[in-house]
């Protein structure tokens, strides 16, 4: 009797497993996923390239469906406020100009990323998109922004004149 009960439980368990919803199994993992630390920034114009290095601050984080980008666009250190708890208007303006940040969703292929911001340093850019190409070798990511589109469909004044290459290392 106990043997029959045990066999029945095993059979019911196996049948239940066979009828349970299947999880999609893929062999493709997201190579971008993780935290990438800024190493260099290259501002590539049609006739000149400016290289900021070593850049030891700035991060691009890719979660399964979300991204966050934060960096200092200048090649100099950010200046601390003289009194940290009481910055002057000029210090606030300089601090705001020395940081870039966006977060939101993204889609990717094996060589491109398109981000859509839901939070941005620039008010009104929410819903805007940035377009990148990328390559990954070992723990290094080269990701180059080549295009940007505002939520209203317009392009920035730098469009067609500038590309920004971020050289990053996986953290």
In three-state secondary structure terms, 97 is helix
In terms of CATH architecture, what is 28-78+85-170? Beta Barrel (2.40)
Tokens of 123: 């008010």
Q: In 3D, which of 90, 94, 89 has the Cα closest to residue 76?
A: 94
In this predicted structure, what is the pLDDT of residue 32? Answer: 97
Distance, CA of 106 to CA of 131 (rounded, Å):
10
Q: Which two tokens stand for residue 8?
A: 């029945």
The half-sphere exposure of 24 on its side-chain side, counting CA atoms within 13 A, is 3
Q: Where in the chain are the domains?
A: 28-78+85-170
Q: What is the pLDDT of residue 75?
A: 72
Per-residue pLDDT at 77? 84
Per-residue model confidence (pLDDT) at position 76: 79
- From 55, 32, 33, select the one nearest 43 (Cα to Cα): 55
Quick one: which of 101, 102, 133 has its CA closest to 117?
102
Give φ, ψ of 66 to 5 degrees: -130, 155
pLDDT on residue 11:
37
Residues of the chain with confidence (pLDDT) below 50: 2-27
C-alpha–C-alpha distance, residues 33 and 87, integer Å: 37
Tokens found for residue 79: 């200046």
Sequence-ordered strand ranges (E) for 2-157: 34-45, 49-52, 59-62, 66-71, 100-108, 112-120, 129-137, 140-149
Per-residue pLDDT tens digits for 34-57: 999 999 999 999 999 999 876 768
Of how many residues is the chain composed? 171
Closest alpha carbon to 132 in 143, 117, 140, 142: 143
Largest CA distance in the chain: 86
pLDDT in the model for residue 104:
98
pLDDT of residue 41: 93
pTM of the model: 0.80
């Amino acid at each position: 009797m106990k043997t029959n009960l045990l066999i029945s439980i095993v059979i019911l368990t196996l049948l239940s497993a066979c009828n349970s919803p299947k999880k999609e199994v893929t062999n493709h993992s997201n190579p971008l996923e993780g935290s990438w630390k800024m190493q260099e920034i290259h501002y590539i114009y049609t006739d000149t390239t400016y290289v900021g290095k070593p850049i030891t601050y700035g991060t691009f984080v890719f979660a399964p469906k979300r991204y966050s980008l934060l960096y200092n666009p200048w090649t100099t250190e950010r200046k601390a406020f003289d009194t940290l708890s009481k910055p002057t208007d000029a210090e606030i303006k300089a601090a705001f100009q020395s940081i870039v940040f966006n977060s939101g969703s993204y889609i990717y292929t094996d060589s491109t990323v398109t981000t859509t911001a839901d939070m941005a340093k620039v008010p009104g850019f929410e819903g805007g998109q940035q377009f990148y190409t990328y390559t990954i070798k070992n723990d290094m990511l080269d990701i180059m922004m080549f295009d940007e589109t505002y939520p209203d469909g317009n392009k920035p004044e730098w469009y067609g004149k500038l590309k920004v290459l971020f050289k990053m290392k996986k953290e």
